[in-house]
Structure 1
C-alpha cells in the first residue's frame, strides 16, 4: 500500500528555488556561449595552415591556395617553412589570412618568406559550409598578421566585411620601433603609410601603396646615347611581365610591346590573327586589322612605327597599352601600363629624342 503525502509549504519553496537557480544558470550559459564561440575562432589557437592544391583550384588560379588562420605564434614561421621545403607551398602561391597575434617578429618572419617566394596576400577564410554564419566567413587580419600581409609581393585590398589593422591605435614609439622600420623598408613600405588609426580602409591602402591589387608600379630605364636613344618600360603583375620599348631616330620612332604570356599562349594568340593596336589612355592608335602580332619566344610581340611628332601623345598619356583583339574588348589579350610613376623619365627621353633627331611640328589635323 502506497502512502501519498502532500508536500508542505517549505518543500514547495525549496523546489521553486532550485528550479530558479537552474534556469538562471542556463540563461547565463546561453549568453556566454556566443562570446566563447567567437573567441575560439582565433585567439588561443596556434596558427593553422591549410593548403588547397586540387586540380580544379590549379586549373582556375594556376597557384595553390594557402589559408592561415588562428593566432600567429612563435612556431608559425617554422611550420610554414617546412611546407615550403616539402613543395606543398609553391612559389607564387595565394596566401589567405584570417589571423591575429602579438608576436610581431613571427609575423615579419612569415612576411619575409611570402616576399622571397613571390607570393600574393589576401584576406580570406577557409572554405565554409553554405549555412556558415557571416561571422565565420569574415576574415580579420590584425597586429602581427598585418606585418605578414605586407610581405606579399602582390597584395589585395580587403573586400566585403573583411578587416585589417591593429587592435588599438598605433603610438609613435610602436610605429618607429627599429625592427618594424627595418622590415617595412625591406618590403618597400614607408612606415607613415600605416598611419595612426587602428583599422585601414581599402581606399587608403590603395592610395598609399599598402595594397597593389596584383600590379607592381611601372619602371623605366633608358639609354640616351645618340644616334638612337632607347627607353624600356616594364610592368610586372600577377599575369606576368610586360615590356614596352621606344627607340627614336631621324624620321622614325619605333614602339615595340612584349607581353610575356608563355610560348604556348603566345603562339595561340598570334595564330588567331586578330586585329592588334596600341592604346594611349582610352584612345586606340596604330591599329592593324590582321597579322600585326607575332610570337617571339615566350612573348607576344607588337611592333609599329610611330610618327616622331606623335611621341608627345605617348609621353603625356596616363597609360599605354598593347592589345590583340578578340570577339570583343572583353576577350582581348594584352596589357595596360600606367605611366604616372615614370613621368619624369618619359620627359627626359622625349627631350633627348628632340635633340638627337628634331622633327617638324605636326599639322593640327594629323593623328
Structure 2
C-alpha cells in the first residue's frame, strides 16, 4: 500500500491493500511517524481481506480516526480527481477507526455482504470486536439486484445517512451512555459521551432543594485551565437555551472544566422532555467553549429520574 503523509496528523493510504500493508503501517506506528489519534484517509479498491482486518485492528489500537479521502495533488497536476472509493478490504479497515466519518459528496464505500450464517469466522470476530452489528452487513441489507432476481448485490454501498443509521459511522462521537440509580432513596442520573474532543459528562443528584447538576468537560489539564481563566460566564444549556448562567462559575479540576448548579425541582419536567443538553463557558470576546449532545435516545431514563426525584422530594417535605 502506498502511503503519503500530509501535515500531521493526516495520513493518506491509497492503492490496493497487499498482504504486507499491516506490517508496514505498524512499523510506522512504532517509529512514531504515525501517532495515536491520527486522521486516516482511505482510497483503495480493496485487496487482501485478512490484511484489511489487520489494518483495522491497528487503527483501533491507535485510536485512529477514519475517513475517505485523497491526498492533495501536486500544483502542476493537470488531472484532479477528489473522489475517493473504499471497497472490500478497505471498507473493513475503515471500520477499525474509533471515530468514523460517513461518506459525503461523490466518495463511495462498499462493504462485502454474505448470506446469513455464511460470514467468514475472521470477519465475524472482527466486526464483534469493532462493535459493528453483523446484521447490518448481511446480504439482505444490500437489497435485491436491479433485475429483481433472487440474487443480491454482494456489496453494500450505503450513503452517509445510511452509514450513521446502521452504526457504520459515528461522525466523531460515540454513543451516549445513560446510567440511572436509586440508592438509599436518592435518585441519580449520569450521562456520558466521548467524542474526538474529549469526554463529556452531565450528572444529576436529587436533593431536597433541587437536582444538583455537575458537568465535566474532560479536555486536558492545560486546556481546562486556559478556558477557566478566560471565563466571563458559564451556563448549563437545555435545548440550545442558556440555563442557570453564572459569572466565574467554572472551575478546572484535574483534566476537566467543571460546573455545579442546582436545577429547580419545579422545572424537572423540562429535563424529561429535553432534546439536547450541554454546558458552556463564554469568554470576554463572545467565544464559547464546551459541549452539547442529543438526549432524545435516553428519554425513558430522563423520565424515570424526573419522576423518582419528584416523588422522593415530596416524601421528605
Scaled to the shorter chain, the TM-score interval is: 0.7 to 0.9
For 1:357, the equivalent position in structure 2 comes to 313
> Does residue 78 of structure 1 match 2:23?
yes
- Please tell me whether the aligned partners of residues 271 and 306 of structure 2 are also in contact (alpha carbons under 8 angstroms): no
Q: Distance in 1 between matches of 2:118 and 2:81?
A: 31
The structure with the largest helix share of the pair is 1
Q: Distance in 1 between matches of 2:37 and 2:118?
A: 29
Over 3 Å counting, the alpha-carbon distance change for 1:124 and 1:344 in structure 2 is same
How far 1:269 moved relative to its partner? 1.7
Q: Distance in 2 between matches of 1:312 and 1:134?
A: 59
For 2:175, the equivalent position in structure 1 comes to 217
Q: Distance in 2 between matches of 1:326 and 1:134?
A: 46
How far 1:345 moved relative to its partner? 2.8
The structure with the largest strand share of the pair is 2
Q: Distance in 2 between matches of 1:161 and 1:353?
A: 50
> Does residue 164 of structure 1 match 2:120?
no
- Please tell me whether the aligned partners of residues 309 and 359 of structure 1 are also in contact (alpha carbons under 8 angstroms): no
Q: Distance in 2 between matches of 1:302 and 1:343?
A: 23
> Does residue 108 of structure 1 match 2:53?
yes
Aligned counterpart for 2:70 among listed residues 125, 131, 152 = 125
TM-score relative to the length of structure 2: 0.87
Q: Distance in 2 between matches of 1:323 and 1:262?
A: 16
5+ residue gaps, structure 1: 1-46, 59-63, 361-367
Cα deviation, 1:231-250, whole Å, max 9, x if unaligned, reads 22111111111111110022
For 1:317, the equivalent position in structure 2 comes to 274
How far 1:135 moved relative to its partner? 5.3
How far 1:324 moved relative to its partner? 1.3
Greater RCO (Cα-Cα under 8 Å, separation 6 or more)? 2
> Does residue 263 of structure 1 match 2:206?
no
For 2:2, the equivalent position in structure 1 comes to 48
Q: Distance in 1 between matches of 2:79 and 2:134?
A: 33
For 1:337, the equivalent position in structure 2 comes to 293
Q: Distance in 1 between matches of 2:104 and 2:98?
A: 19
Aligned counterpart for 1:177 among listed residues 107, 120, 130 = 120
For 1:149, the equivalent position in structure 2 comes to 94
TM-score relative to the length of structure 1: 0.76
- Please tell me whether the aligned partners of residues 104 and 143 of structure 1 are also in contact (alpha carbons under 8 angstroms): yes
| 3-state SS, counterpart of residue 118 of structure 1 | coil
Over 3 Å counting, the alpha-carbon distance change for 1:271 and 1:129 in structure 2 is same
5+ residue gaps, structure 2: 143-154
Q: Distance in 1 between matches of 2:90 and 2:118?
A: 15
Over 3 Å counting, the alpha-carbon distance change for 1:134 and 1:325 in structure 2 is farther
Q: Distance in 2 between matches of 1:285 and 1:123?
A: 39
> Does residue 236 of structure 1 match 2:194?
yes
- What is the RMSD computed on CA atoms of the aligned residues? 2.3
Q: Spell out the pairing of 1:179-328 with structure 2 (5 A cutoff).
A: 179-194=122-137, 195-196=141-142, 198-288=156-246, 290-326=247-283
- Please tell me whether the aligned partners of residues 247 and 253 of structure 1 are also in contact (alpha carbons under 8 angstroms): yes
How far 1:109 moved relative to its partner? 1.0
| 3-state SS, counterpart of residue 183 of structure 2 | coil
Cα deviation, 1:30-67, whole Å, max 9, x if unaligned, reads xxxxxxxxxxxxxxxxx112334xxxx45xxxxx2221
Q: Spell out the pairing of 1:53-68 with structure 2 (5 A cutoff).
A: 57-58=7-8, 64-68=9-13
| 3-state SS, counterpart of residue 158 of structure 1 | coil
Q: Distance in 1 between matches of 2:178 and 2:213?
A: 15
Higher mean C-alpha displacement, 295-304 vs 187-196: 187-196
Cα deviation, 1:296-341, whole Å, max 9, x if unaligned, reads 2221111110112222211321110111124677x31110022133
For 1:138, the equivalent position in structure 2 comes to 83
